[in-house]
Amino acid sequence: MRRSRLKHAGLAVLLMLGSWTAAGSLPAAANEEAPASAGLLKAMQDDFGLTRAQAEERLAAEERATGLEPAARRAAGGAFGGSWFDAGTGRLTVAVTDDASATTVRAVRATGARVRTVEHSARALDAAKTRIDALSAPSGVGGWHVDPAANSVVVEVVEDERADNDVQRFLDRARAAGPVTVRTVPKAPGTFAAGTVGGDPYYTGNVRCSIGFSVYGGFVTAGHCGGAGAGVSGWDGSYIGTFQGSSFPDNDYAWVSVGSGWWTVPVVLGWGTVSDQLVRGSAEAPIGASICRSGSTTHWHCGTVLAKNETVNYSQGAVHQMTKTSVCAEGGDSGGSFISGDQAQGVTSGGWGNCTSGGETWFQPVNEILNRYGLTLHTA
């Protein structure tokens, strides 16, 4: 990207690749920014209807919950039934099976988590989901995931197709695989790639997508945006690099090498809604935590984490291990950043709805992408 681009107030390349005067330098706004969570306060007030004090309190509570979750999981051991952040209490809730010993329950509570007793362990629920993953789902089934609060596998069915014979047969087979709860969704999920239009995207062929997170040597993004070997150009048509690895469906992730005068920095664009956000790590936020998304079409929007390890049934095929959120997105937002506080979470994959009427969006977790390709997240 050329320095002249900085003259435009609408600077909109998600990670600001190559947009400063020297490689590795940061913009003044980023250098002066407090921890990234502070930059989310305005968005949380707008999207969640919170006061500034309430937003600050929630972010602090989410950070505590994220930090203690690994210890609480270890304390629960084989009795672990899942965990989630409860916005009402501001605490992490950990489910343990009803056969857990009193010693185990005390150990979990000692971490600072609340305890809920459930019938099924997380291991049993994951096994049931794996059996459902092996089934062939009709188009009327949107996806399925383990819901620790419901202590079952939730199967989502498109509202208008619930009575469909193929859907009913799938549900019968799913129920035979383990504990299942059926919920309806307004529309089937789809990816958020888009044809070439104006704006500040990256392009591969006639597809427009959004950059996810900087890694050393390039950036990560969605796999459905391009196959391995495909060339990538920036907002100005200049060559950025090449898709070095890509997987879709089954997964929805990819990484692109960066060169030709472009470089990487640990920043997510706030699009003027919030200050541009520094990325300081990739600690995974719990279910129930607030999360925000940045993309080249609809810019900055926030919501909450609704589910993890969901199988999403796109028309192109099922994609596994996705995280579902209440954040909206639209075509061209694919590949863009999901961030919670200053922690990278994942890259936008798809969903349903839009940012006018609302909807839900899934992302592929960033740590899975880093591990798959042996990449290192570029952090501040």
| Annotated catalytic residue within 334, 337, 340, 349 | 334
CA distance 86 to 76: 18
Per the annotation, the verdict on 299 as an active-site residue is no
| Annotated catalytic residue within 252, 276, 333, 342 | 252
SS (H, E, C) the chain: CCHHHHHCCCCCCCCCCCCCCCCCCCCHHHHHCCCHHHHHHHHHHHHHCCCHHHHHHHHHHHHHHHHHHHHHHHHHHHHEEEEEEECCCCEEEEEEECCCCHHHHHHHHHCCCEEEEECCCHHHHHHHHHHHHCCCCCCCEEEEEEECCCCEEEEEEEHHHCCCHHHHHHHHHHHHHCCEEEEEECCCCEECCEECCCCCCEEECCEEECCCEEECCEEEECHHHCCCCCEEECCCCCEEEEEEEEECCECCEEEEECCCCCCCCCEECCECCECCEECCECCCCCCCCEEEEEECCCEEEEEEEEEEEEEEEECCEEEEEEEEECCCCCCCCCCCEEEECCEEEEEEEEEEEECCCEEEEEEEEHHHHHHHHCCCECCC
Per the annotation, the verdict on 320 as an active-site residue is no
> CA 348, 151, 370 angle in degrees (round to 5)?
30
Per the annotation, the verdict on 252 as an active-site residue is yes
The answer to whether 316 and 193 are in contact (CB under 8 A) is no
Rounded to a whole number of angstroms, the distance between the first and last alpha carbons of the chain is 20
CA distance 84 to 47: 21
| Annotated catalytic residue within 120, 145, 224, 299 | 224
Annotated catalytic residues are 224, 252, 334
